Structures are given as structure tokens and as C-alpha cells.
Chain A
Amino acid sequence: MGDASQNADVVAEHLRAWNPRAVTEVIEFHGETTIVVPRNVLREVAQRCRQELQFDLLSDATCVDKYPVEPRFEVSYHLTSIPRKARVRLRVKLSGDDPTVDSLVPVWPGAGWMEREIFDLMGIRFNGHPDLRRILLPDDWEGHPHRKDYPVTGYRDIPSIAMKYTKGS
């Protein structure tokens, strides 16, 4: 990967030149650049990163739950530029009351399953996602297990054979 700090300047400056309010914060940590963007411009920022800054590969999308801190959800997209050999992380912060953000499937079709996974495990709604269903858990699952306030035992008992026998005796 190229020089991280230089890369950060390029990306942040490019986005600020387009819209001064497109970048809320730039975080540098151990050579990794995180650009925090407001959620209403996420898709446009991603579009520009892909078309103008050559970030052609969406490496990964993930989400962190910082419960009980608000805004509790941090959705991160890791972008990679194959021609420029650079990497950047786009981040949106979402509150627990309204965890909704625009989907990036129109920008990178590969975001489809990654966002489905975040929806499944964290309960983030992605606007404009063509197929927002659960992916890892069964369709009738209650709740989103990767949330910090999800009880480790789940919301329902799963009846086991052992329980069946202990109840009877």
C-alpha cells in the first residue's frame, strides 16, 4: 500500500472540494485512514471514490455496536484501489433509534451479501438494497445477535431433548 497519510489527504481533499460537508472527520490510526461521512451523502461519496479516485474493489463492509454510547452503530466500508494500491475506510455513524443508511449495492454490486450480513447480525437497514433478507440466520429468527444488548441465550428457548426429559420427570 502507498503512503497512508498522503492517501488520506488526497481522498479527504477531493471530497471536501466537492462538498465541504462531505467529510465530518478524518481519523489516522496505525497507518489506516478512516473518513467519517454523514449518512445522507454516503452513496455519493462512495460513487466519487469509485469513479474519480479509482477505488474499484470493495474489500469489506462491517459494523461495530458501541452500545450504550450514542450514536451506537459504526458501519465501515473498506475500499481498495487496485491500480493505485491504496486503501481507505469510509464510516457512517448511526443512532440506535433509526439505524438506516443508503445501500452501496448500486455502486459496488459486491456489497450485496456484505450488507445482508450486517442487516442479519446487527439490524442495520440499507435503503435501496435489492434483496435485503437474512443470510446466515433462519428467516424467522428474532433479533440481531451481534448487538451488544442481545441476550447470549437469545430471546426464546430452543427446546432440547434433555429439557424434554427433565420436564417430564
Chain B
Amino acid sequence: MTTVETATGAAKTMVLNMGPQHPSTHGVLRVLLELDGETVVKAVPDIGYLHTGIEKSCEDKTYSQAITLTDRIDYLNPLGNNLVYCLAVEKLLGLEVPKRAQYIRVMMVELQRISSHLVWLGTHAIDLGAMSVFLYCFREREEILKIFERFAGQRMMTSYIRIGGVSVEPPAGWRQMVQKFLDMMPSRIEEYEALLTENRIWMARTKGVGVVKPEAAVAMSMTGPTLRAAGIPYDNRKVCPYSSYEEFDFQVPTRTDSDCFGRYMIRVAEMRESLKIIKQAMEKITDQGPIKADAPGIIPPQREKMKTEMEALIYHFKIFTEGFSPPPGDAYVTVESPRGELGCYVASDGSPHPLRVHFRSPSFVNLQALPMMIEGQLIADVIACIGTIDIVLGEVDR
């Protein structure tokens, strides 16, 4: 802590270094706060503590190998990252994914959205002093992670979505598992709401805090619940549907209050919408059918074919030694991640390695608006604002 003279020289302000190790910055975010008493005069976010060069590493891998790196960008939304990367590569290849695989993808991504919102709700509530919500949220998240474990063998870094489809057939008894979750969840969301929504402390901490005007939100390129809380119904699932989202019936919740409370309500409403989508996806997923596109040379062949057909064996060898080469060009695909518009830009030069992979991470872009949200507010509100932007530092720094 140091006391510095401001440019005006009249008042004395204090510079407080919040983070990079601070429990409520959700990772390694550092914010330099210039304070006048308890009021924030100026805020400068400092990021990069978790920069691991994932985009650069992708350039060294083949297209299929890079999938495992995408899991690690946003560790609360690994399936969404798999999806956006695979969609971009599939666009480059011009690959058509079977409907059954598309519905499985939708179901998994929506489960992931709920689990991400649960982590957000729990940690945000604990930041603002509501300890018990955290425990309840993680109880339900555990159920989702169990479903992922059964599907992919992994709880978090699943790499379940692959180029051309999904990695394995859904496990036996998956319907009962997901159905059990669907039956349980609505009453649990009501439980959270009963604890928070009309809680006077919660309202005092969130209502009117961190207000963003809609024009400012668009100008700062904010997306996701933050933008929808400002009244703009921009959702990539509706605006540019991918993976057959146009066949699903769901609402895009919007509000006009655009404060921390509004963003909380949007995310709770989104969890309910996701449950609707999962229910529809379950009905659409047939018991039989392909889970991978029919594209020899890109999709690894089935084991039986490899043992009986010469061509399949050659393809298998080529895929795992050399990889495949999409035609030269570039593709930019966006999906709606729990945090906003998640984009993936893949450029190919016709070789088996990507020329450039770039992720447009919503946390990174949304965090840019933090100074705008907190300048002039109290220091306690900084925590509420950081919380409702819902940043994942792995994704901010990549």
C-alpha cells in the first residue's frame, strides 16, 4: 500500500493492489485500484499470470491433437471449447456431422452450461457472504460431473467432442442418469432462489451495482449474460444456430436492469432454459445411429474394419502418423458459451498442422469493461462486479 498524489494534487488517494492472489478474483487476476477513501477512482486490470501459450501450442499439433488443449482454456466449459474448435475445423473441411451426434453435443454442452453456472453461482454467493449456496451448488455440479464421467471417462477435461462427431457411444443407462438429474434440478434451482433472490443482504449487495448501459456494453464488445442483462437479446444459439440449435424450442432471457442482480437472474433463468433443451435433446437422440461422420481419412476407422480392410488400416496409419490436411483458407465459428460469445478462428495453409488457431474468449473481452463498471463505486462492489462478469482466468490468459 502506498499513498500517492493525484494529478490534481488536492486530494490524497491510495493505490491498492488487489490480487493476483486474492480469494475473490477467481484465479490470478490483479487489479490496481486507486482509492479515494472507499471509492474507486481508477481501476487497471493486469492479466497474463496464467498465460500458457495454448494458441501457439496448437500450431505444433495436428488438428485432432489440438482438441485436448482446447479443454484447458476454459476449465469450466471444456465441452464448449471442444465444440467450437471442432465446428471450426469441420467448417474448413466441409464436413457434415450426423444428426444424432449433433444432438448428443447439444445435450452435453447444455449440461456443461448448467455446471458452469452452478460454479459461478456458488462462488459468487460465497464472495458476497452467502456460504451455504456454495455447498448446494457443488452438490448438484457433482451429479453433472458424474454424468460426464460415465460418458467420457473423465470428469472435467473430457475431450468428448471430436472432429466429425463425438468420441464414444453414450454409455448404457445414460437416459436414466440424465432423467434423474432433470427431475431433481428444477426444485434445486428453486432452493437457490429461495436463499438468494429475495434475501435483503443479497439485494443490497447486487441491486444497482455495476450498471452498464446497453450502448456501452455493445461498444465494449461485451456478450453473454452481461449483454442480455442490458436488454439486448444476442445469443449465438439463436442468431447463428450451430449443431441443430434451430430445432430446439427455448427462450433467450433478457432483463433491462443491467446490474449485478440482473445478471444473476439471467443466469438462473438460463439454467432453466438449458434443462428444457436437455429434455428435448434426450427425446431427439435415437438409440441407434452414427455418432461420427462418414469421412475416411479424417475420422479414425472402427476397430473391426481395421482388422478386415486394408484401406481402413492405411487410413488409420495416416491419421495417427501424419494427420489430415484441410484445404487452405480460414474459418471463424462462434458458439454461446456460459460466459458469452466464444469464437474460434482457424487458418489452414494446407498442411496437417493449423497455421493459426485463435480463441475469442468471452471472459477476456468482457473483463475489459471492468474499469467502466467499478469506477465510482465502493471497493466492496468491485468483488460483486468481478463475480458477475464470470471470468475464468484460464480463458482470459489462454
Contact = CB atoms under 8 A, between A and B. Distances in A.
B51 A136 contact: yes
Contacts of A76: 330, 345
A64 interface: yes
Given A78-B343, A136-B397, A29 B329 contact: yes
Contact of A59 (B334, B347, B364): B334
Given A56-B218, A64-B356, A82 B232 contact: yes
B358 interface: yes
B241 to A, nearest CB: 9
Nearest to B50: A136
A32 B332 contact: yes
B73 to A, nearest CB: 13
Contacts of A99: none
Contacts of A63: 356
A66 B355 CA distance: 8
Contacts of B234: 57, 82
B329 A57 contact: no
Contacts of A145: 53, 56
Contacts of A65: 356
B240 interface: yes
B341 A85 contact: no
A1 B343 contact: no
Nearest to A111: B221
Contacts of B232: 82
Contacts of A146: 55-56
A145 B55 CA distance: 11
B221 A59 contact: yes
A137 B397 CA distance: 9
Contact of B221 (A29, A32, A87, A110): A110
Interface string A100-111: 000000001111
A62 interface: yes
Contact of A110 (B91, B220, B334, B355): B220
A63 B220 CA distance: 20
A108 B221 contact: yes
A108 B219 contact: yes
Nearest to B356: A64
Contacts of A117: 364
A85 to B, nearest CB: 6
Given A62-B356, A64-B356, A146-B55, A109 B219 contact: yes
Contacts of A85: 239-240
Interface in A41-70: 56-60, 62-66
A110 B368 contact: yes
Interface in A20-35: 29-30, 32, 34
A89 B330 CA distance: 11
Contacts of B347: 64
Given A29-B329, A110-B220, A138 B345 contact: no
A135 interface: yes
B329 A60 contact: no
A1 B240 contact: yes
A30 B355 contact: no
B47 interface: yes
B243 to A, nearest CB: 15
B92 A58 contact: no
Contacts of A87: 240, 332
A112 interface: yes
Given A60-B343, A109-B220, A146-B56, A137 B51 contact: yes
B360 interface: yes
Contacts of A58: 221
B13 to A, nearest CB: 20
Interface string B342-374: 010101010000011010100011011000000
A114 interface: yes
Contact of B329 (A1, A30, A62, A138): A30
Contacts of B94: 30
Given A60-B345, A82-B232, A110-B220, A135 B47 contact: yes
Interface string A118-149: 00010000000000001111100000011000
14 contacts: A1-B239, A32-B332, A57-B218, A59-B332, A63-B356, A64-B330, A64-B347, A64-B356, A65-B356, A76-B330, A87-B240, A89-B332, A137-B48, A145-B56
Given A64-B355, A109-B220, 12 more contacts: A30-B94, A32-B330, A32-B331, A58-B221, A60-B332, A60-B360, A63-B356, A64-B330, A66-B355, A108-B221, A136-B48, A145-B53
Among all A-B residue pairs, the 3 with the closest Cβ atoms? A110-B221, A60-B360, A136-B48
Interface of A: 1, 29-30, 32, 34, 56-60, 62-66, 76, 78, 82, 85, 87, 89, 108-114, 117, 121, 134-138, 145-146
